[in-house]
């Protein structure tokens, strides 16, 4: 059971169902022999709780019975999906093949339901908790990815801007990890904004988890040139493999990607999440997702990136509890601050009113004078000026 829990958790992490956790390999000969400290601590806590609740092994019979019966019903339903969708068997044949097994298992499950008050509630509560964690993590990551895509600048737009006004070039290779290669990584924008430099070679790195347990070396790396100084590299790992970026990049070198690991910097983005009023999830689920995100293992350790070559850039993802979004705009600036908008204040903000840019995915305006009206009225009167300010914001920030 212990090794099975480790394997299931690792596969769930690789498939994006759970946050990253530290995974230790205890054997040089067998890659599947792993140890996950947090899972081990969770198993210890679970054993102590079961001993405290049931005292004897005979009292565990009700909990064990419903756990086995529920597992068999779930296996039957999943088997039906595999036979129908993957094996391409006609629907009626798949139903005829699986329904006798499911009926037998469902009979045992219904019989065990009578013992819920005798201890059968324990595995049900554990299963519901795990499903809640998985749903919260999946939903939260989808919302976060959507918010991030709305605030990112298209990569081709940035490259055209750099061609017109190139920054100073420094030797070395910069690797920027991102899950959306068509958009500019936040770390790249921050590097241009604050350091005002560009490396000789820049790699936009995307890590993909395949549907297969393992991926052969000849299919692991895909290199796509973007421009003379930019290239996109995709690393593919199986859901039972532990991602190792340096080893995969060694394969990329054999395919023509020239770089020296000792002169390569890995730029990672670290997000500080804050609860939002209208995030798409209840407030308690927001806080649960933020807790899961904070408990995630460090990306550099999870992907086996040398810590001495890592540069982390922090960003805050937060929506204001007050103010109103003026809708999706064609340009998004990750550096929007008040001094960037000073030139627009005269036309867009009368007298005592000013912009307050404290929302990561929308342009938020507050009225500082209660007698002037609500923020919604303020936006309605100055929408066009806000749009103009937003369009010029990020390119103006890079130029500065």
pLDDT above 50 for 363: no
301 and 162 in a single domain? The answer is yes
Between 94-103, 132-141, 231-240, 385-394, the lowest mean confidence (pLDDT) is in 385-394
Q: Which of 314, 347, 371 is the last residue of a domain?
A: 314
In-domain check, residue 211:
yes
* pLDDT at res. 50: 92
- Structural domain span for residue 351: 338-399
Three-class SS of 301-347: HHCCCCHHHEEEEEEEECCCCCCCCCCCCCCCCCCCCHHHHHHHHHH
112 contacts 65 by C-beta, under 8 angstroms? yes
pLDDT above 70 for 391: no
228 and 266 in a single domain? The answer is yes
In-domain check, residue 347:
yes
Q: What is the pLDDT of residues 288-300, one digit of tens each?
A: 999 999 898 888 8
* pLDDT at res. 318: 55
134 and 175 in a single domain? The answer is no
110 and 160 in a single domain? The answer is no
Percent of the chain with pLDDT strictly greater than 70:
78
* Closest of 374, 382, 370, 261 to residue 326, by C-alpha: 382
Stretch 350-361: mean pLDDT, rounded?
A: 36
267 and 309 in a single domain? The answer is yes
269 and 186 in a single domain? The answer is yes
207 and 234 in a single domain? The answer is yes
pLDDT above 90 for 18: yes
In-domain check, residue 320:
no
287 and 374 in a single domain? The answer is no
Q: Which of 148, 177, 212 is the last residue of a domain?
A: 148
Q: What is the pLDDT of residues 310-342, one digit of tens each?
A: 988 876 665 433 333 333 333 333 333 333 333
pLDDT above 50 for 399: no
Stretch 20-28: mean pLDDT, rounded?
A: 85
164 and 310 in a single domain? The answer is yes
147 contacts 179 by C-beta, under 8 angstroms? no
3-state secondary structure of 152: coil
Stretch 101-125: mean pLDDT, rounded?
A: 92
195 and 137 in a single domain? The answer is no
pLDDT above 70 for 124: yes
pTM for the complete prediction? 0.68
Residue 5 burial (CB count, 10 A): 15
In-domain check, residue 332:
no
Higher pLDDT: 6 or 374? It is: 6
In-domain check, residue 299:
yes
How many domains are there within the chain? 3
* Closest of 278, 274, 286, 283 to residue 315, by C-alpha: 274
Alpha carbon of residue 344 to chain centroid: 35
* pLDDT at res. 6: 93
pLDDT above 50 for 190: yes
In-domain check, residue 282:
yes
Q: What is the pLDDT of residues 152-162, one digit of tens each?
A: 788 988 999 99
287 and 188 in a single domain? The answer is yes
In-domain check, residue 349:
yes
Stretch 116-134: mean pLDDT, rounded?
A: 93
Secondary structure of the chain: what % helix, strand, coil (to 5)? 50, 15, 30
In-domain check, residue 253:
yes
158 and 285 in a single domain? The answer is yes
* pLDDT at res. 323: 33
Question: How far is 53 from 205, CA to CA, in rounded Å?
Answer: 49
């Amino acid at each position: 059971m212990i090794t099975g829990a480790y394997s299931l958790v690792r596969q769930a992490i690789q498939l994006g169902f759970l946050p990253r956790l530290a995974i230790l390999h205890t054997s040089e000969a067998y890659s599947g022999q792993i140890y996950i400290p947090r899972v081990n601590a969770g198993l210890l806590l679970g054993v102590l709780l079961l001993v405290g609740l049931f005292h004897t092994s005979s009292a565990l019979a009700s909990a064990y019975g419903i756990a086995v019966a529920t597992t068999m019903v779930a296996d039957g339903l999943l088997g039906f999906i595999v036979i129908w969708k993957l094996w391409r068997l006609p629907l009626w044949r798949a139903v005829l093949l699986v329904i006798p097994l499911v009926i037998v298992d469902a009979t045992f499950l219904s019989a065990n339901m009578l013992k819920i008050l005798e201890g059968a509630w324990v595995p049900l509560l554990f299963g519901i908790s795990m499903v809640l964690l998985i749903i919260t993590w999946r939903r939260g990551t989808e919302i976060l990815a959507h918010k991030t895509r709305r605030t990112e600048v298209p990569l081709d737009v940035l490259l055209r801007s750099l061609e017109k006004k190139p920054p100073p070039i420094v030797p070395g290779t910069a690797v920027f990890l991102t899950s959306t290669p068509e958009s500019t990584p936040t770390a790249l924008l921050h590097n241009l904004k604050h350091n005002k430099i560009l490396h000789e070679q820049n790699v936009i790195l995307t890590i993909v988890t395949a549907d297969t347990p393992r991926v052969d070396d000849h299919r692991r790396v895909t290199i796509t040139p973007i421009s003379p100084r930019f290239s996109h590299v995709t690393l593919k790992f199986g859901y039972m493999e532990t991602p190792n970026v340096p080893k995969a990049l060694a394969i990329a070198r054999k395919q023509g990607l020239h770089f020296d690991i000792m002169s390569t910097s890995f730029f990672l983005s670290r997000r500080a999440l804050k609860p939002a009023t209208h995030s798409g999830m209840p407030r308690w689920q927001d806080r649960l997702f933020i807790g899961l995100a904070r408990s995630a293992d460090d990306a550099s350790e999870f992907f086996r990136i040398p810590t001495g070559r890592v540069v982390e850039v922090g960003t805050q993802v937060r929506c204001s509890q007050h103010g109103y979004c003026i809708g999706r705009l064609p340009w998004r600036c990750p550096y929007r601050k008040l001094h960037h908008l000073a030139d627009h204040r005269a036309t867009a903000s009368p007298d005592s009113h000013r912009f307050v840019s404290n929302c990561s995915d929308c342009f938020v305006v507050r009225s500082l004078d209660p007698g002037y009206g609500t923020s919604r009225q303020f936006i309605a009167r100055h929408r066009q000026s806000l749009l103009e300010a937003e369009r010029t914001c990020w390119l103006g920030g890079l130029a500065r």
